[in-house]
Amino acid sequence: MIVLSRRMRGDARWSGLASYALATGIALILVAVVTVTLVIPDDAPLHDWAGLVQRIAIVALLFPCRVALGMRLLGVASER
């Protein structure tokens, strides 16, 4: 998402979603760091919640961003 946001910023049709994609990418990196440190190790305090943390990252962060990008792609494709 971070790489996509940098490319989107240069195109006027996509620039409105660039900051959203960047924020999503940064949030996903933060969730990954928290997951590696506080969830994955067997003695980690949140180890019992590993599946929930992964699903929240996908459902609350990644999926909505992909839906927004897909909807914009449909709009851009229909302009032609």
Query: In this structure, what token pair is assigned to residue 26?
Result: 């940064």
Note down pLDDT in tens along the chain; length 80 residues.
999 999 999 999 999 999 999 999 999 999 999 999 999 999 999 999 999 999 999 999 999 999 999 999 999 999 87
Query: In this structure, what token pair is assigned to residue 38?
Result: 């506080």
pLDDT of residue 70: 97
pLDDT of residue 47: 93
pTM, two decimals, is 0.88
Phi, psi of 44 (to 5 degrees): -70, 150
pLDDT of residue 6: 94
Q: Are 26 and 18 in contact (CB under 8 A)?
A: no
List the one residue out of 14, 2, 52, 53 whose CA is nearest residue 31. Answer: 53
Alpha-carbon distance of 4 to 15, in angstroms, equals 11
Domain ranges of the chain: 2-79
